[in-house]
Structure 1
Amino acid sequence: MQLQEFADRSHLDPSTIEAWVNAEWLVAHPPGHQFSDQDLARAHLIQDLKRDLGINDEGIALALYLLDELYGLRCLLRDIQAMRTTASERTH
């Protein structure tokens, strides 16, 4: 989705979105600042962390880093499980 649709759906103004992209909390995908549904979910998470939990910007950066690390580990675990399943099927 384009920036304006993302702003409408996230209820954020474009300057906030740009600040979050610059802080690397969101990633604007080329060409022309395309955003995905995952980006929208992440924007809503950031809003919840700020508004509902009162987490400051440094805490947001840390929380997002840890969530990204956790997601990466989940993907790695899924890949390892898939390789083990494939290897097990070959031996039977």
Structure 2
Amino acid sequence: MSTRRQHTAHAVSLTQLKRTLDARLREVAAQKHEKLVVVRGRTPMAVILDVESYQALLDELYDLRLENLTHDRLAGFEPGRAIRHEDLVESFSDR
């Protein structure tokens, strides 16, 4: 389970957002809402996040990609072709 804070999502129409943009951005920045969903009619068009939430999403995405890459590389690991760390360090120290 995520340790991230739990906030409510808040939806706002595009028309209303145009009139109250500054106030809405201040609410998101103050983390009164985790995200602001902009809708046209009943269709979501965009999501506005505070910087901390956006960075957390980027960090999580990076971690998941790194984990996937690690699994892919380990699937092709051949112990017979591996080089010991000590041997690698020694090969660079000779230069």
Q: TM class, shorter-chain normalised?
A: 0.3 to 0.5
| Structure whose CA Rg is larger | 2
Comparing both structures, which one devotes a greater share of its residues to helix?
Answer: 1
Q: What is the TM-score normalised by the length of structure 2?
A: 0.34
Comparing both structures, which one devotes a greater share of its residues to strand?
Answer: 2
Q: What is the TM-score normalised by the length of structure 1?
A: 0.35
